[in-house]
Amino acid sequence: MTRFAFTVEFDGRPFMGWQRQSHGPSVQQAIEDAIHAMTGEQVAVHAAGRTDAGVHGLAMRAHADVAKTITPFRLMEGINALMRPHPVAILACEVVPNDWHARFACLGRSYVYRIVNRRAPLTVERGLAWQVAQPLDADAMQAAAQLLVGLHDFTTFRSAHCQSASPVKTLDRLHVERDGERVAIHASARSFLHHQVRSMVGCLALVGLGRWSADDLRAALDAKDRAALGLNAPPDGLYFVAAHYPGREDRRP
């Protein structure tokens, strides 16, 4: 039995999320089905993190154990060929030690949330970014974002369906930057609560629109109450961009 590690890119729009589910297609199922078609083996693909319906991945890290004797290149090529027409691609494949685990060996995860700040409708990026028509003050968003960095109880920014044992998390980075009509929000932490990034982005957008102040954001955090959340951003603009491991990082910009 050989353990293979994958770097996976996917468009989340057709999927119910990463994890295999009974009520719709998932990225995990697409990869597992491709491996089964190629090897005849029923395998479980484990990922560095989970994503919601409509959320995208640029460099998700995952692994699977395969009994068939095969090179990483042939396995990658075979999976990619058999996964069509699903918008999922294996970007890299390598053999890793049998005790390496995509989730449990991961030291941190990074996401980027993409906003297109313009009045004209989205065309080629529809479903791939959040369009906000009214002007956003990215500087105000960046200043307010620093209130969320560090160790906090993020109950306000946590989905009611979150399965995490504790709402207390350490947010290592939350950075807002503008490039023309595009606003990108970068978030990094060891782990995140369900909907945490989307909820933080939604509230920062309220700050950028002038509907909330930084004090309002702090009050929402301090409330430790989901009812205090101002806005949960849609999944369209959220991308998993990096998984961090001892001695290496899998990242795409």
Residues tagged active-site: 52
CA–CA separation, 71 vs 75, rounded Å? 6
The three-point CA angle 96-67-20 to 5° equals 80
Residue among 183, 234, 182 at smallest CA distance from 52:
234
Q: Torsion angle, CA of 240/203/232/158, rounded to 10 degrees?
A: 80
| Vertex 62 angle, CA 57 and 65, to 5° | 150
Cβ(105)–Cβ(246) below 8 Å: yes
Residue 135 CB: number of other CB atoms within 10 A? 12
- CA 244-73-44 angle, 5° bins: 60
- Give residue for tokens 């996976």: 8
Q: 129 — phi, psi (to 5°)?
A: -160, 160
Place of tokens 């899998």: 250
